Amino acid sequence: MKDLADRRVLVLGLGVSGVSAANFCAERGARVVAADERPARALSGLSDLDARVERVLGRAFPDPADFDLVVPSPGVPRERYADRARRAWGDVELLYRVLAVPILAVTGTNGKSTTTRLAESMLRAAGLRTRAAGNVGAPALGLVGEALDWAVLEVSSFQLETTEEFRPRVAVILNLTPDHLDRHGSFEAYRDAKARILARQEADDVAVLNFDDPAVRDLADACRARVLPFRTAGALSHGAWLDGSCIVIRDGDGPAVRLPLDGLRLSGLHNRENAVAALAAVAAAGADPSKAILALDGFVGLPHRVEEVGRAGGALFVNDSKATNPGAAVQSLRSFPASVIWIAGGRDKGLDFAELAAVAAARVRAAVLIGEAAGKLEAALAGRVDVLAAASIEEAVQRAAGLARRGDVVLLSPACASQDQFRDFEERGDRFRVAVAALARREGAP
């Protein structure tokens, strides 16, 4: 389907990416129906929707079989359309079919947004025109028409499910740990969805793979692209790796390039890994690594990702609301020494908390649990960590503050999805930030 003109297109879901996709198709002459089962009052972006788009709101989706193309938003499960749709492309696939510049795409369970933004900043530091979009926040189709040398995309497993010809010139897989099993059903299905980022690459493309992660390393044998590995746990014959306070890159037969990480402001080994991955990716894209690494000096962490939001009672409060799975929470806990007061919980995604509980036992003095998964987390922590319950994020902050001593870290790192109590992880993190600010104001009051 090269031309959308006069085609009947069904867009499922009217979040940011859905509105963007509906407008994109309408502008190209498609007859677009945009559907969302939520009522109009629950949708915030309708004023941005092209007037030519027909809206079906507050009721069941139309039958996908009546349309030439279905464009599902990432949050719409495949079983809602796959058996009936003649063809299903997400916004990433639509973008790939019209974009004239090469794509550097990043996926993985954790660290995607930070690595995507680092790659964007590094390419710019090396003198290349670029912008990041996709799962990082800005809709992918917003890149259409921009004057770019490279497009940088963060792509989720949900977005990759709806790709067909998508071929990034540089594809990065950061790590693979169980996540979204409530949607994918098994780790194997989740891994296979992530691996679609590699499926259409050819010999002149590059796959940047984490060789510290066995599940990622195992994908290398099936790659048609040239594999450029990276790791933090030792040297490689070629690729990128961490050596003390430096990143070393050796690609091809040339000498290794050793570059200092002094400018990295982000804490935690996982962020050093993100920096190694980003530098490997931009080097694969042809950027000069010695120029690209200068981006670290001006790069600050993204909101809701190990974000220091305030102090009260001598304790540091840290917002890591983006940690929506146990693997991410493990990385967050390992960023701090012992004496953490941990706020966790939310909507369970069918994941195992055993490793997380073991890590918490060595670092967490007490845990304050919220949301639907509180009981499951409490069972995993039994006999290892003292546990309290809270009905809201505000109560959790109050209870954590009551437990904290000078020098402690109060860490929101939920290990769970947010939709049991919040719109998304951003709202959860924002509410945490506001509660911490209120606590600090009361402490400073005469």
CA distance to 234, 332, 374, 396, 399, per residue, from 392 (Å): 43, 22, 12, 6, 11
Extents of the domains making up the chain? 8-88, 92-298, 307-444
d(CA 38, CA 56): 10
Other Cβ atoms less than 10 A from the Cβ of 8: the count is 16
State the pLDDT at residue 2.
66
CB 444 within 8 A of CB 320: no
Residue 348 corresponds to which amino acid?
D
d(CA 296, CA 446): 41
Q: Locate tokens 């991410």: which residue? A: 328
Query: pLDDT by residue (tens digit) across 241-288?
Result: 999 999 999 997 788 999 999 999 898 889 999 999 999 999 999 999
CB 213 within 8 A of CB 176: yes
Query: Which residues partner with 344 through β-bridges?
Result: 369
The residue annotated as part of the active site, out of 23, 110, 135, 325, is 135
State the pLDDT at residue 425.
96
Burial class (CB in 10 A: 0-12, 13-18, 19+), 441: exposed
CATH architecture group of domain 8-88: 3-Layer(aba) Sandwich (3.40)
Kindly tell me if the per-residue pLDDT of 1 is higher than 70. no
d(CA 116, CA 171): 11
d(CA 404, CA 234): 37
Residue 325 DSSP one-character state: S
d(CA 132, CA 165): 20
135 is catalytic: yes
Query: pLDDT by residue (tens digit) across 39-93?
Result: 999 998 899 999 999 999 999 999 999 999 999 999 999 999 999 999 999 999 9
CATH architecture group of domain 92-298: 3-Layer(aba) Sandwich (3.40)
The residues, any chain, with a CB within 8 Å of residue 441's CB and separated by 6 or more, are none
Both tokens assigned to 16: 């940011």
d(CA 45, CA 73): 14
Long-range residue pairs from 36-41, CB within 8 A, at least 24 positions apart, any chain:
36/12, 37/61, 38/14
Residue 26 corresponds to which amino acid?
A
State the pLDDT at residue 378.
97
The residue annotated as part of the active site, out of 110, 112, 271, 304, is 112
Mean pLDDT taken over the chain: 95
> 0.85 exceeded by the pTM?
yes
Q: Where are the beta strands (DSSP E) in 221-290?
A: 226-231, 239-243, 246-250, 257-260
**pLDDT > 70 fraction of the chain, expressed in percent and rounded:** 99
State the pLDDT at residue 446.
42
CB 201 within 8 A of CB 228: no
The residue annotated as part of the active site, out of 23, 110, 175, 180, is 180
d(CA 446, CA 428): 30
pLDDT level of residue 172 (50, 70, 90 thresholds): very high
269 φ/ψ angles, rounded to the nearest 5 degrees? -60, -35
Query: pLDDT by residue (tens digit) across 112-168?
Result: 999 999 999 999 999 999 999 998 879 999 999 999 999 999 999 999 999 999 999
Kindly tell me if the per-residue pLDDT of 201 is higher than 50. yes
Both tokens assigned to 180: 């979204």
CB 147 within 8 A of CB 129: yes
State the pLDDT at residue 3.
87
Burial class (CB in 10 A: 0-12, 13-18, 19+), 53: buried
Mean pLDDT of all residues in 218-237:
96
CA distance to 28, 145, 177, 224, 386, per residue, from 161 (Å): 24, 25, 18, 20, 41
CA distance to 143, 277, 347, per residue, from 166 (Å): 15, 21, 32
Both tokens assigned to 423: 């719109």
Q: Locate tokens 């974009």: which residue? A: 99
Query: pLDDT by residue (tens digit) across 361-372?
Result: 999 999 999 999
d(CA 147, CA 108): 28
Which helix (H) or strand (E) segment is 368 a member of? Answer: strand 364-370
238 is catalytic: no
Q: Locate tokens 């009051």: which residue? A: 445
Kindly tell me if the per-residue pLDDT of 301 is higher than 90. no
pLDDT level of residue 181 (50, 70, 90 thresholds): confident
Both tokens assigned to 340: 């953490």
Query: pLDDT by residue (tens digit) across 311-340?
Result: 999 999 999 999 999 999 999 999 998 899
- The fold of 307-444 is Protein-Tyrosine Phosphatase; Chain A (3.90.190)
> What is the widest separation between alpha-carbon atoms in the chain?
68
